[in-house]
Structure 1
Amino acid sequence: MEKVWLKQYPASVPEQIDFGQYPSLLALLEESFKKHASATAYKFMGKGFTFAQIDEQSRALAAYLQSQGLEKGDRVAIMMPNVPQYPVAVAAIIRAGLVVVNVNPLYTPRELEHQLKDSGAKAIVIIENFAATLQACYAAVPTKKVILASMGDMLGLKGLIVNYVVRNVKKMVPAFSLPNAVRFKDAVAAGRKAAYRAPDTKPTDIAVLQYTGGTTGVSKGAVLLHRNLVANTLQCEAWYQPALKKMTPGEQITTVAALPLYHIFGFTSNMMLGMRMGGCNILIPNPRDIPAVFKDLSRERIHSFPAVNTLFMAMANHPDFNTVDWSHLRISVGGGMAVQQATAKLWLEKTGCPIVEGYGLSETSPTATCNPTDSDKFTGTIGLPLPGTELKLLDDDGNEVPPGTPGEIAIRGPQVMAGYWQRPDETAKVMTADGFFRTGDIGTVDDRGFFRIVDRKKDMILVSGFNVYPNEVEDVVTQMPGVLECAAVGVPDAKAGEAVKLVIVRSNPAVTEADVRAYCEANMTGYKRPKVVEFRNELPKTPVGKILRRELRDKAA
């Protein structure tokens, strides 16, 4: 495919970037700690932490991990929400020459056991709120070294109060027994007395095992090398430049970290990009507690907000929205799932800052495409390939499809993973001979090089031989007054093979099935209209906010 998209790049975005400027993520971190030492790196519950403080604590924790007999390449799991111990742990693991295994804190014992066994993690840094989950599978996993954090660890005297409330008032720490666990603060204190040895980390060493979400079946570890994450951090920084030019010169960029840092979107867009740019991240431990989010943000001057559609929508519809000063917001990045037109329209009306939608996967570190950050409107596309990235559209046999035809999006670039951890068979299914990663997402491209997702291969509904793409149905129905959100799935149908089922969450309880059907009749051709309409109070979602269509499909079947 000819790289027509390069002609659409804003003037301040380079076509190529020197990805070799850092030999590893370790080199990037070390430079940032020195360069931005006195700047605030994170804010949590009103308290700020400088780059120098994160530097000192992570170096001590790295020395502690080395003192425990962990050797270069060993895997260490992290199971925490967005608390300051999270970036300390990530930096420590990388500085010790080890591999980060990001774990979703809301996992069940079964899911946690699978990931710890699959990764072979020898150690875990876990917050006590989820220690009971680890206890339930501890005997079955190879993870015997446990570092136990608590919510208030890094908050000084205030932390004692926070821990008391979390444990005794909110009762958020179920009883557990992990006799060999070492407290986070004790591990850091011990590390201060231990010798630290800087590892010889190469671009091709593994930095992170990022497990793919359960939306497509068994969770597999995407192997992200140091060079993959360095490349994507530099690509994102270059892509942000047009928006950053609108900031006051010399002002530190402040970013909302509501995306979970254990999710690759938050890991790169918040933590790694923040390190590289010397930015400050406002850590939001629970983005579902919208009033608490507004309380945290009301104290801040915010420039950047990466989030998923569900969070943008929940916030824009909340009565506390205007308690935050949005006038300094320069970049709103939507990813993780399709951004819906109704959400984008409302967000632009309320903030004056359009959502620029991007696209990527755990396998691409994650960002592969994004809309230009100097856009003044929502495009409904996933934008252009980032510098150094190529996309093409393939048919089922791996041949490139002609222009205007939908095909499977395939990506090649420095951010593409090395493969799936210890699964050469699964890797072979998704990697082409010429180095493209087959995403399983169906897309189209226009003559300017803007890509659009029409849907996932597996989510496509086949009605009497016609392809129905759930994203399209959902995008139409969410623009109907009184509909908060919805999901479209295929259900078996004796006549048509499959039919469309629509599950709706209403913002106005007066909306009826007849209203929905009339709206669909006015806006969609016959075979795309839902045969089944169901109302629910909420939709099943992954912790990052992606709607689990598979769960709705399974229940319907």
Structure 2
Amino acid sequence: MTDQRPWLANYPAGVPAEIDPEQYASVPAVLDEAIAKFRDRPAFSNMGRTITYGELDARSRDFAAYLLGELKLKKGDRVAIMMPNCLQYPIATFGVLRAGLTVVNTNPMYTARELRHQLVDSGAAAVLVMDNFGKTVQDVLADTQVKQVITTGLGDLLGFPKGAIVNFVLKHVKKMVPDYTIHGAIRFNDAIARGAKHELPKISTSLEDIAFLQYTGGTTGVAKGAMLTHRNLVANMQQASAWIGPLAREGQETIITALPLYHIFALTANGLVFMRLGAKNILITNPRDMPGFVKELKREPFTAITGVNTLFNGLLNTPGFSDIDFSPLRLTLGGGMAVQRAVAERWKQVTGVTLVEAYGLTETSPAACINPMDLAEYNGSIGLPVPSTEACIKDEAGNQLPVGEVGELCIRGPQVMRGYWQRPEDTTAAIDADGWLHTGDMAKMDDKGFFYIVDRKKDMILVSGFNVYPNEVEDVIAMMPGVLEVAAIGVPDDKSGEAVKVVIVRKDPSLTADQVKAHAREHLTGYKHPRIVEFRTELPKTNVGKILRRELRDEPAKT
């Protein structure tokens, strides 16, 4: 076996070949250990307010007791959480898990169409939503099985008077909270107060129970829920912890969490790995406000930061960033999308720390490959498979290819999802009989076991680390009466890696690009919006009439 894993010989000193995915019985067991060790240490900080591990323990316990004692939810029921990074997120997430329930992470920027699909598909029994997005929940509630809505304002855990001021400004000054009415909804703080009156029964959560339904796009354009079990998350936390082990110091780390915790990268890397270390996690609610983000970074020393290429690039181009004291910074991890050489080199120049690229998928919880943390400089690789993980390159027939040859990257390990929620055919298509997850990424491996992404087998578009599936964009644009045919493709973009472009054959000659973009805004989350709209008289097709997206990507633009 070892000779088929050349990467082991190139592991950094101190990183084991294997981890024990059964070291903890569940994700809450990891939390319990952290609480016992670090009770009085700061756990999460947001907008100047910090809660300790002890407070996280008490409040997540009370929320769990509310879900079981008041709502009478049963083991395995799903609870959707729809909010940006704020203190409510970790309290609610750990509360749901401690109750033996499953978290359905929900992008707060979803349109009604996208949210309806996710709530219906997951069968969520309850949803916790921030006021800013309550109107979207109101609009779809009647079509779902949701029994209880829990609402909260961004300022609700910030204390008085700050919290009240934040909520007032968001609603009345910035007009960021549309009016909504949801009969029977309860406020998050009230739910916690009610939960405090209930005992929390002993919950037996096994490693095979589903911790998260993490939705990801599909080739059909329908978002599918990846079933991530407690085993998957515990294993991936162990793998990433082992990898950064030599760099990480228990009880001494402060990590910047700017990527949303509802995204699998931040959820595992920041939310779980650094919680286990007793780190202080600084939650950035709106990283798109780059000047505000830089101001936040100047407030206190930080030792680690994760992000996607666009985030690092944005920071490097924001005035004041280069003035920050980076002497405490020891770890910068980039994932979600390809890290560009120019960005990595400039990051090293400004901060003195190497931007280490990692590779993962929602389906792998997410980490599959990471570059050595002691990497001297950017190397263009996605790194080496993490402990207890096998990776190989396969051809179309499923045969493993030798070093240097390009084929589909396949991953096998304890972090690979159980499958897609209620979609056995999709699961079988993704995970073969030998347990290999087919990633859809074309890659090659060198003789040292480093993997390099070459291209994508699928037509999926990657915008700032988020998957955009062409079918979904096409389905939405095709709803317009003036559209005869449409194809969506990804085109290179300096800022986001790729941008969405739609090529349309008009039915109505008066249809404009602005009308197409306005329609997309109504039905698609921001990162899925077409940046470029091009009109043509026909689209390239196969002899059976299938649109050739790859041909559209490869040829020079025509009007």
Q: TM-score, normalised by structure 1?
A: 0.83
Q: For the Cα contact (< 8 Å) 1:41–1:274, is it kept in 2?
A: no
Q: For the Cα contact (< 8 Å) 1:24–1:230, is it kept in 2?
A: yes
Is 1:211 matched with 2:215?
Answer: yes
Matches within 5 A, 1:224-239: 224-239=228-243
2:178 aligned counterpart, secondary structure = coil
1:193 aligned counterpart, secondary structure = coil
**Cα displacement (A) at 1:322:** 2.7
**Which range moved further: 319-328 or 192-201?**
319-328
Q: For the Cα contact (< 8 Å) 1:336–1:546, is it kept in 2?
A: no
Closer/same/farther in 2, CA of residues 164 and 547 from structure 1, 3 Å limit: closer
**Cα displacement (A) at 1:502:** 5.3
**Cα displacement (A) at 1:208:** 0.5
2:311 aligned counterpart, secondary structure = helix
1:57 aligned counterpart, secondary structure = helix
Closer/same/farther in 2, CA of residues 553 and 414 from structure 1, 3 Å limit: farther
C-alpha RMSD of the superposition: 2.7
Aligned to 2:554: none
1:242 aligned counterpart, secondary structure = coil
Aligned to 1:84: 87
**Cα displacement (A) at 1:305:** 0.8
d(CA) in 2 for partners of 1:19 and 1:26? 14
User: AA paired with 2:215?
Assistant: Y
- One of 90, 101, 104 as aligned partner of 2:104: 101
Aligned to 1:199: 203
Aligned to 2:150: 147
1:19 aligned counterpart, secondary structure = coil
Q: For the Cα contact (< 8 Å) 1:215–1:548, is it kept in 2?
A: no
Closer/same/farther in 2, CA of residues 284 and 402 from structure 1, 3 Å limit: same
Aligned to 1:73: 76
d(CA) in 2 for partners of 1:138 and 1:502? 36
Aligned to 2:390: 390
**Cα displacement (A) at 1:403:** 2.3
**Cα displacement (A) at 1:274:** 2.0
Aligned to 1:15: 17
**Cα displacement (A) at 1:408:** 0.5
User: AA paired with 2:173?
Assistant: V
User: AA paired with 2:396?
Assistant: D
Aligned to 1:175: 179
d(CA) in 2 for partners of 1:276 and 1:62? 20
Aligned to 1:458: 458
User: AA paired with 2:448?
Assistant: R
User: AA paired with 1:418?
Assistant: R
d(CA) in 1 for partners of 2:197 and 2:291? 42
Matches within 5 A, 1:476-515: none
Instruction: Give CA deviations for 1:460-507 in whole Å, capped at 9, x if unaligned.
Output: 9xxxxxxxxx99xx9xxxxxxxxxxxx9x9xxxxxxxx9x99565699
Give structure 2 stretches of 5+ with no counterpart. Answer: 471-486, 497-519, 540-559
d(CA) in 2 for partners of 1:131 and 1:555? 37
User: AA paired with 1:431?
Assistant: I
Aligned to 1:242: 246
Aligned to 1:355: 355
Q: For the Cα contact (< 8 Å) 1:72–1:97, is it kept in 2?
A: yes
User: AA paired with 2:188?
Assistant: F
d(CA) in 2 for partners of 1:406 and 1:437? 17
Aligned to 2:265: 265
Identity %: 49
**Cα displacement (A) at 1:398:** 1.2
Q: For the Cα contact (< 8 Å) 1:16–1:387, is it kept in 2?
A: yes
Give structure 1 stretches of 5+ with no counterpart. Answer: 461-469, 475-486, 490-497, 508-539
Aligned to 1:165: 169
Closer/same/farther in 2, CA of residues 555 and 379 from structure 1, 3 Å limit: farther
Q: For the Cα contact (< 8 Å) 1:243–1:374, is it kept in 2?
A: no
User: AA paired with 2:22?
Assistant: G
d(CA) in 1 for partners of 2:288 and 2:354? 22
**Cα displacement (A) at 1:9:** 0.6
**Cα displacement (A) at 1:548:** 5.7
1:392 aligned counterpart, secondary structure = strand
d(CA) in 1 for partners of 2:401 and 2:63? 51
Aligned to 2:140: 137
d(CA) in 2 for partners of 1:291 and 1:216? 39
- One of 48, 51, 72 as aligned partner of 2:53: 51
Aligned to 1:345: 345
1:458 aligned counterpart, secondary structure = coil
Q: For the Cα contact (< 8 Å) 2:34–2:278, is it kept in 1?
A: yes
The count of corresponding residues between Structure 1 and Structure 2 is 486
Aligned to 2:37: 35
Aligned to 2:547: none
Q: For the Cα contact (< 8 Å) 1:215–1:550, is it kept in 2?
A: no
Q: For the Cα contact (< 8 Å) 1:10–1:242, is it kept in 2?
A: no
Q: TM-score, normalised by structure 2?
A: 0.83
**Cα displacement (A) at 1:549:** 10
2:96 aligned counterpart, secondary structure = helix
Matches within 5 A, 1:412-491: 412-459=412-459
2:40 aligned counterpart, secondary structure = coil
